[in-house]
Structure 1
Amino acid sequence: MGARGRRKKAVVRPRAEEDADYLQWKSRIPLIYDWFTNHNLAWPSLSCRWGQQLEQKTYKNNQRLFFSERTDGTYPNTLVVANCEVVKPRVATAEHISMFDEESQSPYVKRIKTIVHPGEVNRIREFPQNSRIVATHTDSPEVFIWDVDAQPDCGDRLGDAECQPDLILKGHQSNAEYALAMCNSEPFVLSGGKDKLVVLWCINDHVSSLLNSASTACLGLLNGSLNYNHSKGATNLKASCTPTVAPRAMFHGHVDTVEDVQFCPLSPQEFCSVGDDSCLILWDARVGTNPALKVERAHDGDINCVDWNPFDVNLLLTGSADSSVKMFDRRCMTTGGIGSSVHTFQHHRAAVLCVQWCPDKSTVFGSAGEDNFLNIWDHAKVGASDEYSRPPGLFFQHAGHRDKVVDFHWCETEPWTIASVSDDCARVNGGGTLQLWRMSDFIYRPMEEVLAELETIKEQICYSTEA
């Protein structure tokens, strides 16, 4: 494993400095957030993902949420399915969002199902075509596919419960721990691992093998849904009844661990990968299993994460152990090119662990890492004058976590709403922290719009102040 911060000791900031940053952030919550809630976890989490929107209400929307729990071995590791009540914009009061206890659970997060997982859940990815299907990575060569609706709830019997995935994807020759991606348009799964391979599967490929098997009752993928024959009340499944799928293709080009992969938003045959060899590679399955384009030394350290812009497929983001985020334009990339990024975003104080483009604005993205911060950037602001002397492009910094931010996810159905998790077991009662939040729209809206709205409510604001 590279400098990812999950297996090796992270760079430690002085406790007094961390506390000062956190307390300053906490005092500003009513000013900079439209909604915020803090959910203490009994065990640390390495991944969180929003699922589908379940229900719309007057003041809140009900949203599916997935996260993991990494235990100490006394209890099994778990994949958690929860429902989250997301408060609508301009509804939460300042007093409400600023009052929370770091060691308490949020009233907005309701655990629906706990699925016992074989090994810790390093990554969770949901299938865009089917909201009940998720894929997970653990410390093994396999990728696990789960039908979360069909799986039993083991929440009250974790000590002796056992669950089995509904489908196992095989092909890696060594552990594949973090690099995992789902295709938007096809039932394709992409993975990378310590074997230096990028592996592609289609989960529909198991259907033909099932039709030739006498055990077709075990699992069927019909009309895009996994239909597993779980017996009533069952909590385990013989391994022989769990179908496996062989890969469509294996792609060779990295010379060290592959840390992250991502599909092109407009093409299921195109994807990218990054790794501990500091390379960014673009692939095209239509022309073979060798790199279509390889950027050597895209960073000065291991590259931990990559994302592809859903609005402009020429733009990609990478985050590295060198503490920087880079944006690449594939029209300007050349094989063997060094330092061919469009811009380097620098403000993290330690390794960057995850990056993701915002689904609500094409130029905005987030980055998070071992320095406890989740930064929000707008590359359209690079080059613009900034009277506050902020790093180019940076316009918001979420400082609510007490330790490294290991994962975050923008919600596609709740504009500008983010879920983030941190491994801060040393700071919050031995567990981890899940935070759900949305910055104030005054921060990202055009200045002229904000000033015009403030002018319309000036009398109410002045009245409140005088009162």
Structure 2
Amino acid sequence: MSIEQLQEEANTENTIKEEYKLWRENCRFMYEFVSETALKWPSITVQWLPEHISRPDENLIESQLLLGTHTEGSETNYLKLASTQLPIQKGKVNSKIKITKKFENNYEINRARYMPQDGNIVSTINGGGEIDIYKLDDEDKKSLFHLTHHTENGYGISWNPFKKGYLASGSDDKSVWIHEISDKVNKIMSFENHEDIVNDVQWHTVNENLLGSVSDDKYMNIYDIRISEKPVLQFYSPDSDGINSLAFSPFSQNLIAIGNGNSNISLIDFRKLSITPGSQGLLHTMMGHSDAITSLEFSPTKDGIVASGSQDRRLMIWDLSKIGEEQVQEDAEDGCPELFMMHAGHTGGVTDLSWCPYKDWTLASVADDNIVHIWEISGNLLNEGVPQEVDDNELE
């Protein structure tokens, strides 16, 4: 490595440290609470589990999350079940992550997602494209089913929210598969229409028969599993540098968000899509990140709120109701009107995020820095009031 490269690395590291220090100094204005837990190995995936126990007399909610490991092959990889506590009201709780159970896996866990109809059933897709199905209460800590139909690394995995056991997956091998998982595994169908790696797959949040996939080939494909093994609708994003993430709004059946390799987020009107390849349906482009989008998720409890994670170490919260609002010069310098908040506490690229389904404005996020963040957005920001300081004891 040259002297110039070493100097550039040192400058980057110093910049990251300075930005992190500034973020910590401003936490009291931005969060009801925020906690950081260091892991031995980075987790590329995170998801809140729906089951929780509320203890009002102790001002806490007993919560659980899914995590993974990325050991680069030097140690065994695991799907991890983790526990934490969330405060019901302002107050001190033990929000540090505790690993309560581990399930072996052959490769790094790229994504882990629970079945909506049964939170005890979890699917994972790994660095070899293998899919494993686990039962979290299984004392053997081994997968129930091990699927090897994909031949390369995979990130896309999604359970159908209506058809119990229907699991979609996507991989670097350019294919999308659907299986039904019950007491056995049944193949439903497969799609091989993308010309490059498939980065994400998601079932529609209203129509049980619609599935979306996005790829480095710059296409979003929409499939209707009742009709054929070809897309029924497509969206082409020529300047995207590939599409990495896909999210359907849980409140508006016609609203789709995609996260692009060029750092932008595209909002799409489902009704205006066509089977003819093109950019028909593009409603708006949100710009604010400076590197590729890695994760994208609509809030499950607040209409028009979406979170995005990026390789730029930032996680951004967007309020779609603010699109098009006029801004004064000072506000415009901070970003577009729909950019509601920036979470800047990670020192590595953000790899995944998850909205808490039972506590408003609360998220978990993971990054290449081996840190899990759990945080709740300040009520002062939500109410657009005058910022008030949070006691240092509430920031872990």
Q: Distance in 2 between matches of 1:298 and 1:149?
A: 46
Identity of aligned residues (%): 27
Q: Is 1:62 the equivalent of 2:58?
A: no
Please say if residues 55 and 62 of structure 1, whose CA atoms lie closer than 8 Å, have aligned partners that are also in contact.
yes
TM-superposed deviation, 1:54: 2.6
TM-superposed deviation, 1:176: 4.5
Q: Distance in 2 between matches of 1:269 and 1:171?
A: 22
Q: Distance in 1 between matches of 2:183 and 2:123?
A: 16
Q: Distance in 2 between matches of 1:411 and 1:442?
A: 19
Q: Distance in 2 between matches of 1:190 and 1:305?
A: 15
Q: Deviations over 1:329-352 (max 9, x none)?
A: 111222311364111111111111
Please say if residues 86 and 108 of structure 1, whose CA atoms lie closer than 8 Å, have aligned partners that are also in contact.
no
Instruction: Tell me which of 148, 171, 178 is aligned to 1:200.
Output: 178
Deviates more, 1:59-68 or 1:80-89: 80-89
Relative distance call for 1:107 and 1:300 in structure 2 (3 A) is closer
- SS of 2:28's equivalent? helix
Q: Distance in 2 between matches of 1:339 and 1:405?
A: 30
Deviates more, 1:271-280 or 1:142-151: 142-151
Matches within 5 A, 1:154-165: 164-165=142-143
Task: Return 5+ residue gaps in structure 1 as ranges.
Answer: 1-10, 97-105, 153-162, 207-244, 425-431, 462-467
Q: Deviations over 1:92-136 (max 9, x none)?
A: 5xxx9xxxxxxxxx7532221122212111111111111111000
Please say if residues 181 and 189 of structure 1, whose CA atoms lie closer than 8 Å, have aligned partners that are also in contact.
yes
Q: What code does the residue aligned with 1:56 have?
A: S
Q: Is 1:392 the equivalent of 2:337?
A: yes
TM-superposed deviation, 1:268: 2.1
Equivalent residue number for residue 22 of structure 1: 20
Q: What code does the residue aligned with 1:181 have?
A: S
Q: Distance in 2 between matches of 1:248 and 1:298?
A: 31
TM-superposed deviation, 1:89: 3.5
Equivalent residue number for residue 355 of structure 1: 296
- The runs of 4+ residues in structure 1 deviating greater than 4 Å are none
- SS of 2:380's equivalent? helix
Q: What code does the residue aligned with 1:195 have?
A: D
Q: Once superposed, what is the RMSD of the aligned Cα atoms?
A: 2.2
Please say if residues 51 and 119 of structure 2, whose CA atoms lie closer than 8 Å, have aligned partners that are also in contact.
no
Q: Distance in 1 between matches of 2:238 and 2:124?
A: 28
Equivalent residue number for residue 376 of structure 1: 317
TM-superposed deviation, 1:170: 4.5
- In terms of Rg, which structure is larger? 1
Equivalent residue number for residue 465 of structure 1: none
Instruction: Tell me which of 235, 245, 251 is aligned to 2:191.
Output: 251
Matches within 5 A, 1:66-145: 66-92=66-92, 108-145=96-133
TM-superposed deviation, 1:171: 3.3
TM-superposed deviation, 1:87: 1.3
Q: Is 1:343 the equivalent of 2:284?
A: yes
The structure whose residues are more often strand, as a share, is 2
Please say if residues 299 and 339 of structure 1, whose CA atoms lie closer than 8 Å, have aligned partners that are also in contact.
no
Q: Is 1:408 the equivalent of 2:345?
A: no
TM-superposed deviation, 1:188: 0.8
TM superposition score normalised by structure 1: 0.76
Aligned length: 373
Task: Return 5+ residue gaps in structure 2 as ranges.
Answer: 1-7, 391-396
- SS of 2:50's equivalent? strand
Please say if residues 356 and 409 of structure 1, whose CA atoms lie closer than 8 Å, have aligned partners that are also in contact.
yes
Q: What code does the residue aligned with 2:154 have?
A: E
TM superposition score normalised by structure 2: 0.89
Q: Is 1:168 the equivalent of 2:106?
A: no
Q: What code does the residue aligned with 1:401 have?
A: H
